[in-house]
Structure 1
């Protein structure tokens, strides 16, 4: 297109601009930028998490729903109720010595004596050759002012999350049921639930509550519920495993993480904290950080624990099973040795239920995505989400750089006359006439090349579908074979990349371009999954992004001076390139999914078999998709990285 200029001065400016743009487009410096930009995204994404505990990036908690009115009512739980509680606690202690049938009959009898409609729900799961069975007992308190459209749940599992018998928790739940029955203020029904255990008992009950009889028995051996109420508005669980002689506590640790990292509405948690600390004078802690001084270190410690807990996606208490059904739920767990007793906990529970009773609609105004730094400070999604997006962007940039490289081929060098070409800053320049002027523009060092996509697309699809095999093995085999299965997967993880590389390079004659396209497609899929996952479970997306970062920098190990590398071939550059590749390779091998799993079991002092069994239970019973992300997304991308590493070793020598 001819240049239109109004004067010689403007024409000269336009010609110089065109020349500069042509120079920048083919500059080797620009072609070397993507790895550095990718590394910058990685570093900034990790550093982003370390600035979140600062006041500038976090906020004080507050209650958004004005109708809740936390702590605005006078609580009456106490006095004679204390005697009732101690009597129930002694009965619960005696029940622990009885058979299951006698214990269930006794609990159900107490509920009927109170005047509630009670029922049982047996359930049984079989996972990895292990039977998980029990019977839940529940009762319905019909609100005098209720229209059977809404309900609240008060829970106390017979065994808490640590496997201890929840003596005082069950006794307090029964006492609260008897106490609530005497009041006529309830505009919602109240369900008293005593699940057999904290994880699978509540899961069986809430899944049956939100399913029809056919749906419950179609794929789970769970009995349907004979008693139901309206839509569940909120659930509160009590974890108070104290024997018949009682024990005072210091603080309440509020558990709130749900299945797959789901969180309750922040208003429910803020209501509990406001009532416990403001109205009752009970200190509250998050993630077990009891001695929280509100310092940067304690905030960062709480944030780190929250990220690790949420990334696992497993249940943390009886409340966790309610999250997938959009029911806000928390667990009040007593910790420490202080001066607070069961009456303080009872009044706290009463005030929380009276606040929930005030709601005119489901909790919706506050945050559903947040990270807590302590009981009174949080980080909203707008402040922490960029960290995960930068991690995903790191892989996107690497994928796009590989895609661009795969579409260019080196040109055959030609000899230019001395009067028409010259060199400047390492660029081969050529005289080109633009209008009335002659300018120097860079000679193209590469030329466009047709991409052959069939083999890379087929290989990427096959590798990612192959990830279903380790997932299927680890969630369906008998528990006695889980450890052996993981060992076989770990061995295959190191052998499979070389075997696939031989198949692609030797048998199918895959070119360097096709290997680049394969890696680009794998990284692009990993980036898309992490970016999407970050909006659902930020912690899981961030942790997987951190562990998988070497995949963005993997290059053919035995060919560090490939033509696609535009670095000059000085000894210094060669040494730095080789050292960088060796470092990335070492980290790549150390951060395989199987190796990371072994390291985590060592760090948390658990056995490999127990960890794998819990993963299988979580997948089959609660639908925790962490294993799916690890073995169907991260592991295939890791395998592709190994194929890239070893691809040059199997190329035929000319």
Structure 2
């Protein structure tokens, strides 16, 4: 019978041996992973795929458009009425709403007026991740001056059952309407009028003419909130529509049809399948009519990629429009990016010459443009703030985008505008017709993606590789630091034992990590207090951004000083290696949690945090390497500590985007306040993950 080996002699499992190898070679693994992660991130524009329509039921462009020149004539007539009403008549805000409602009624739509109060955005720490906090307006204010009124029309689908709908939104400033806003309303009205006559409609059509005198997002978000949270109380506090539509001698007969009792009811259609926010813009001229697509919503949410795909397909291949998405212009002129693009182009040509089957086809100009677009897509997703009123729909899990349509000619050029309206109307009709074909909600394509061009994207399965490579060294280095200090303590214990038969001296060194954990906990507690301070600083009257920033900074330093003095005896006796190990573990947990909430924020944060956390070591600590590498390491530590400081990072970013002469002390306060009121999770990441890690790194740098 074969003798069994004792347990100690058995081979350890492969995963244990692999873990031991990674821990023992943590420095080499860290360098390889970080370099590979940065290279992968840089190559994302090369790895981007062409967009395609995943849902076959959409069938974009399968039917000939019905939008004709007659509809353009109606649009121009409507624009003229709206624009003249806004310029010539007093109280034009209510007059324009009345005129829009009347035209909606003329095409057979169900009409009502959504009344909402103007409310200021304000940060409150107890309202994070809930609906956007707002403060109420004074109760003694005039109802019609501090309330918005948005006309809403609903076309019931002849082939539908009323369970689904498509929303068309056109924001306009009712107090000071511009020509481009009048064109937006005219374009939407002509499409709305056409849809009231078609027989193929299977989903209800809702047209919201959003009164944006207090902001485009405010009016749309208020309507959506009331749409999904109905109020059944008779004294809900809303104004009556008859209070705003005052009778005049000019339209006494028309006023009878705008009785408040008939229009106070909040009418609803079915579940919203998709929403389109349409805006005509007067931007810089180009060779062709253009459409700019904005898709980013709160906390990095994106609509289903199929919605963008059908807009791009119909705009380019059916209407000949030029499609653009957000791009960082300063990167387009970057000499470094152009050099990298040319290098990649040469390498891919060399690879293709070695193997004809490799079709890489990297072009230097496409790489630069793709990188600029990718950086813009990552930035606006990481910011966590909607780029338009479409973001209000995404908060209710409704796919929506904003289309900004820009003509190649002046808005006063009748022939050019008529051609532009014809193309734009057919584009909107085609998108609505494609969504109308859907039998279920968008689900086939991607929800997590970056755009590198209007027709190219990087899916989550590709861009998460860069993040995984950057974050992977953190737990490995943490384990290596902890094990090295544990081995050092064990050797010290053995050397201190007497060579007698007496029992070895026992020490509490195995629990030494608790001192470091206490310090890490204390710093994170300080960061939590710092994140709540702006609410109290903002209550100070007669302050600007500079004084608010100084108050925030001084109070944060004072609280840090008091906490360290009160808890000095509880955090003494730590080793910097163990402190770095615990700090890295906390950073890896924070980055991992943030990647679930907003992946872009975690990706951008890892670019700054990971190198700083891995390279940090005391400046006074001797390094057993030659003088030049040791000096280079210290310089990099100081440089990373300066660049990774949140206000410094924002100043560098603003300098790249707008010029360094525009930087001032209050920029970080304004940026933070911007994130607070939008409940962006990026603010929590900066305050609760990035800031404490930065402070601990500086603490290790200054360790004696």
- Normalised by the length of structure 2, the TM-score is 0.73
Taking structure 1 as reference, are residues 475 and 545 closer, same or farther at Cα in structure 2, changes over 3 Å only? farther
Residues 636 and 133 of structure 1: CA distance in aligned 2, closer, same or farther (over 3 Å): farther
* Pair 1:37 & 2:52 matched: no
Moved more, 392-401 or 139-148: 392-401
CA distance in structure 1 between the partners assigned to 2:433 and 2:689 by the alignment:
45
The answer as to 2:573 corresponding to 1:511 is yes
Q: CA deviation at 1:462?
A: 3.4
Name which of 577, 589, 592 aligns with 2:642: 589
Q: 2:484, 2:555 → 1: CA distance?
A: 30
Gaps of 5+ in 2: 124-134, 138-145, 242-263, 333-362, 410-415, 496-506
TM score, norm. by length of structure 1: 0.78
Q: Decide which moves more: 171-180 or 333-342.
A: 333-342
Of the structure 1 ranges 540-549 and 88-97, higher mean CA displacement relative to structure 2 is found in 88-97
* Runs of 4+ in structure 1 over 6 Å off: 2-5, 23-27, 129-133, 289-294, 492-504
Contact 1:392-1:528 within 8 A present in 2 as well: no
Q: Match of 1:469?
A: 529
SS at match of 2:278: strand
669, 686, 695: which one aligns with 1:630: 686
How far, CA to CA, are the matches of 1:288 and 1:159 in structure 2? 27
Does the Cα contact within 8 Å between 1:114 and 1:181 map onto a contact in 2?
yes
1:51 to 33, 37, 43: 43
Pairwise CA distance, 1:371: 1.5
1:328 paired with 2:399, answer yes
Residue matched to 2:511: 451
Q: How many angstroms does 1:315 deviate by?
A: 1.3
Which residue does the alignment assign to 1:420? Answer: none
Q: Quick check: 1:490–1:594 contact (8 Å CA) kept in 2?
A: no
Cα deviation digits, residues 96-118 of structure 1 (max 9, x gap): 44533333333333323333222
For the Cα contact (< 8 Å) 1:496–1:639, is it kept in 2? no
Once the two structures are TM-superposed, the CA of residue 156 in structure 1 deviates from its matched residue by 1.1
1:580 — aligned with what?
A: 633
Pick which of 631-640 and 398-407 moved more. Answer: 398-407
Aligned to 2:302, the other structure's residue is in SS state coil
Q: Does 1:312 align with 2:383?
A: yes
How does 1:21-420 map onto structure 2 within 5 Å?
A: 33-54=25-46, 57-97=47-87, 98-99=90-91, 100-116=93-109, 117-128=111-122, 134-158=148-172, 166-195=181-210, 196=212, 197-213=215-231, 226-242=266-282, 250-287=289-326, 295-335=366-406, 337=408, 341-410=420-489, 411-412=491-492
SS in 1 for 2:60: coil
Alignment CA distance shift 1:247-1:284 (3 Å): closer
- In structure 1, how many angstroms separate the alpha carbons of the residues matched to 2:700 and 2:554? 18
User: Could you report, residue by residue, the CA deviation over 1:3-22 in whole angstroms, capped at 9, with x for unpaired residues?
Assistant: 979xxxxxxxx99x99xxxx
Unmatched 5+ stretches in structure 1: 6-13, 416-446, 562-566, 649-654
CA distance in 1 between counterparts of 2:682 and 2:446 reads 23
SS in 1 for 2:118: strand
Distance, in Å, in 2 between the alignment partners of 1:91 and 1:364 is 41
After TM superposition, the structure 1 stretch with the greater mean CA deviation from structure 2, 539-548 or 356-365, is 539-548
CA distance in 1, matches of 2:207, 2:171: 11
Note if contact 2:157-2:204 (Cα within 8 Å) is conserved in structure 1: yes
CA root-mean-square deviation: 4.0
382-391 or 525-534, larger mean C-alpha shift: 525-534
SS in 2 for 1:529: helix
Q: 1:603 to 1:249 in 2, by over 3 A?
A: same
Residues 407 and 450, structure 1, Cα contact 8 Å, conserved in 2: yes
- Are the equivalent residues in 1 in contact too, given 2:328–2:376 (CA < 8 A)? no
**Equivalent position of 1:442 in the other structure:** none
Q: Residue 354 of structure 2 aligns with which residue?
A: none
Q: Distance in 1 between matches of 2:437 and 2:28?
A: 55
More deviation, 536-545/95-104: 95-104
1-side partners of 2:84 and 2:364: how far apart? 41
Whole-Å Cα distance in 1 between the matches of residues 453 and 546 of structure 2? 38
**What's the CA shift for 1:91?**
2.6
Match of 2:336 in 1: none
**What is the CA deviation profile of residues 189-208 of structure 1, one whole-angstrom value per residue up to 9, with x for unaligned ones?**
11111221332222222233
Q: Aligned equivalents of 1:25 and 1:122: distance in 2?
A: 60
Q: Structure 1 or 2: larger strand share?
A: 1
Q: Secondary structure at the match of 1:326?
A: coil
The C-alpha deviation readout for 1:142-194, integer Å capped at 9, x for no partner, is: 2122222111100111159xx97623112211222222112232111111112
After alignment, is 463-472 or 185-194 more displaced? 463-472
Over 3 Å counting, the alpha-carbon distance change for 1:490 and 1:577 in structure 2 is: farther
Return the alpha-carbon distance in structure 2 between the equivalents of residues 630 and 26 of structure 1: 33
User: For 2:657 and 2:697, how far apart are their aligned partners in 1?
Assistant: 29
The separation in 2 between residues aligned to 1:192 and 1:311, in whole angstroms, is 31
Q: Is the 8 A contact 2:50 2:456 kept in 1?
A: yes
Identify if the C-alpha distance between structure 1 residues 414 and 377 changes in structure 2 by more than 3 Å, giving closer, same or farther: closer
Q: 2:586 aligns with which of 525, 538, 560?
A: 525
